[in-house]
Amino acid sequence: MNILVTGSRGQLGSELQELSACSDGHHFFFYDLPDLDITSPGHVASICREHGIEVIINCAAYTAVDKAESDVDAAFRVNRDGAAVLAACAKERNALLVHISTDYVFNGTSSAPYREIDPASPLGVYGVSKWDGEERIRRIAPSHWIIRTSWLYSVYGANFVKTMLRLGAERSVLSVVADQIGTPTWAADLAAAIMSMLGQYDKHSRYAGTYHYSSEGVCSWYDFAQAIMELAGLPCKVVPVESSQYPQIAPRPYYSVLNKSAVKQEWKLEIPHWRVSLAAMLAKLQHGAKG
Ligand SMILES: NC(=O)c1ccc[n+]([C@@H]2O[C@H](COP(=O)([O-])OP(=O)(O)OC[C@H]3O[C@@H](n4cnc5c(N)ncnc54)[C@H](OP(=O)(O)O)[C@@H]3O)[C@@H](O)[C@H]2O)c1
C-alpha cells in the first residue's frame, strides 16, 4: 500500500518514519510543513495523486495546548479544518484515514477509564479543536480510524520526559502536579500499534472506528516524574503539588485514563506498561540522543 504520513517530523511521525525502514510491502511517503500543509486541499490532493496514496496517517496537529488558548484560529485551522481536508481527500480516493486524537476531548470528571462511547466534553481550545476534527472526519470519511492517545513522549521532539531529564540534572528539588491522573504513552509503541493495525487492514473493506490507545497502567504527572528520575539515576527530589499550586493557561482534565479494551480485542494488540516503555525510551535516548 502507498501510505502518506503527515506531520512526519513530529514525535509520532518520526517514530513511524523509523519503523517504516523495517516494514515490508508498504511504500511510505513522509511529509511535513512546508512541503505539505494539511490545511491546503490542493496541496493534499496533488501529493496523494502523485504517490497513489491509499492510506493517510495524520500525525500533523497544533499541539501547543496552552498557546492554543490565545492562538485559537490557528489551532482550529490545523486540528479541525486540516482534519476535514484530509477526510475529503481520503473519501475522494477511497482511502483510509488514520487520525490521531487526544484524551483531552474528555473533561476528566470520570473516575473510571474512558471508553470510546463516553461523551466528549473538552475543557480547552486544543481539546475542542481536536474534538471538532474528529467529528468532521466521522462525517466526511467513510473509512477512518480515529485513535485517541494520551501523554505522548518520544526520543524525538520536546516532551515531558525530556523536560524532566533537563530539570532533574539542573535542580535538586522539583515540584510536579500529583492530582492530574492519566497514562503516558511512548510514541514508538503507538507507531508499532498503527503498523500492526495496518498489517491486518483489508483495503477492500470499509472501516470506521474510534479507538483508545495508551500504555497500560495509571499514574499522576508526579508519579511519572519520579519514575523518570529513578530510572535515569538522577538524585533530584520530586515533590507532589496540587494543580492550584502550578497554574497553567489551559485547563486540563484531572482524570483522563483511556479504556483500551476495544483496540486490544479488535486488533489483538499487546500493550506494554508505561514504566516498561519509559525504561525502553530512556535506554534508547542514552544510546543516541535525538533533538
Ligand atoms: N503530544 C502529546 O502529548 C499528545 C497527547 C495526546 C494526543 N496527541 C496527538 O497525537 C498526534 C501526534 O502528536 P505529536 O506529539 O507527535 O505532535 P508534534 O510532535 O507536535 O508534531 C506535529 C507535527 O505536525 C506539524 N504540523 C503543524 N501544522 C501543520 C500543518 N498545517 N500541516 C502539516 N503539518 C503540520 C508540526 O510542524 P511544526 O512543529 O512546524 O508546527 C509537527 O511536525 C497529534 O494529533 C496530537 O494531537 C498528542
We report the CATH number of the domain holding residue 201 as 3.40.50.720
- Note the pTM of the prediction, 2 decimals: 0.97
The number of domains in the chain is 1
pLDDT at 38: 98
Q: Is 38 in the pocket of ligand 1 (CB under 6 A)?
A: yes
Ligand 1 centroid to residue 236 C-alpha, Å: 30
The average pLDDT across 221-237 equals: 98
pLDDT band at 40; cut points 50, 70, 90: very high
pLDDT band at 202; cut points 50, 70, 90: confident
Contact 260, 140 (CB under 8 A): no
Task: Inform me whether the pLDDT recorded for 283 exceeds 80.
Answer: yes
For residue 77, the ligand 1 atom closest to its alpha carbon is: 31
Structural domain contains residue 52: yes
Domain ranges, residue 77: 2-158+184-216+257-271
The average pLDDT across 230-236 equals: 97
pLDDT band at 204; cut points 50, 70, 90: low
The average pLDDT across 95-114 equals: 97
Structural domain contains residue 104: yes
The average pLDDT across 248-262 equals: 96
Q: Is 120 in the pocket of ligand 1 (CB under 6 A)?
A: no
Structural domain contains residue 179: no
Q: Is 128 in the pocket of ligand 1 (CB under 6 A)?
A: no
Structural domain contains residue 172: no
Ligand 1 centroid to residue 58 C-alpha, Å: 9
Cα–chain center distance at 163: 18
Task: Inform me whether the pLDDT recorded for 291 exceeds 90.
Answer: no
Task: Give SS3 for 27.
Answer: strand
Phi, psi of 225 (to 5 degrees): -60, -40
Using alpha carbons only, give the angle 97, 101, 103 rounded to the nearest 5 degrees. 155
- Residues forming beta bridges with residue 97, ordered by sequence position: 56, 144
Structural domain contains residue 206: yes
Task: Inform me whether the pLDDT recorded for 207 exceeds 90.
Answer: no
Structural domain contains residue 85: yes
Contact 155, 285 (CB under 8 A): yes
Q: Is 214 in the pocket of ligand 1 (CB under 6 A)?
A: no
* CA atoms within 13 A of residue 276's CA, in its CB half-sphere: 9
Distant-in-sequence, close-in-space partners of 8: CB < 8 Å, separation ≥ 6: 14, 16, 17, 30, 31, 32, 59
Give the active site residue among 62, 114, 126, 156: 126
Ligand 1 centroid to residue 13 C-alpha, Å: 8
Task: Inform me whether the pLDDT recorded for 171 exceeds 60.
Answer: yes
pLDDT at 22: 83
Structural domain contains residue 30: yes
- Give me the sign of the Cα torsion angle 228, 234, 240, 246: negative
Q: Is 226 in the pocket of ligand 1 (CB under 6 A)?
A: no
Structural domain contains residue 150: yes
Ligand 1 centroid to residue 173 C-alpha, Å: 31
CA distance linking residue 171 with residue 156, whole number of Å:
23
- Does the active-site annotation cover 246? no
Task: Inform me whether the pLDDT recorded for 281 exceeds 70.
Answer: yes
